[in-house]
Amino acid sequence: MNQGLYNGFLAAGTIWGLVSGRRDIKLFFLTCVVIAGIFGGLTAKTSILLTQALPAFVALVFVLLSERTSHRSAA
C-alpha cells in the first residue's frame, strides 16, 4: 500500500507540473520518478526500470529540450 500512495503523490506532482506549466515542478517530480524507478528496479523488480524510470527519463529529456527550443526561437 505504501508504494501505491508514494506513486500517487508522484503522479499528482507530475500532473501539477503539467497543469501549471511550471518547468521547475516538472523537473523536480520527473527527477523523483526517475530516482524512484531506479531504486525500485534495484530493490523490488527489475522491470520497474523499464516501466517507470525509462518513461520518466524520456519525459525529463523532452522537458529539458523543449525549454532550449523555446529559448532559441524567442531569440
Give the domain ranges of the chain.
Answer: 2-74
Position 73 scores a pLDDT of 60
pTM over 0.75? The answer is yes
Has residue 34 got a pLDDT over 90? Answer: yes
Has residue 61 got a pLDDT over 70? Answer: yes
CB 18 within 8 A of CB 26: yes
Has residue 13 got a pLDDT over 90? Answer: yes
Position 75 scores a pLDDT of 55
Has residue 74 got a pLDDT over 90? Answer: no
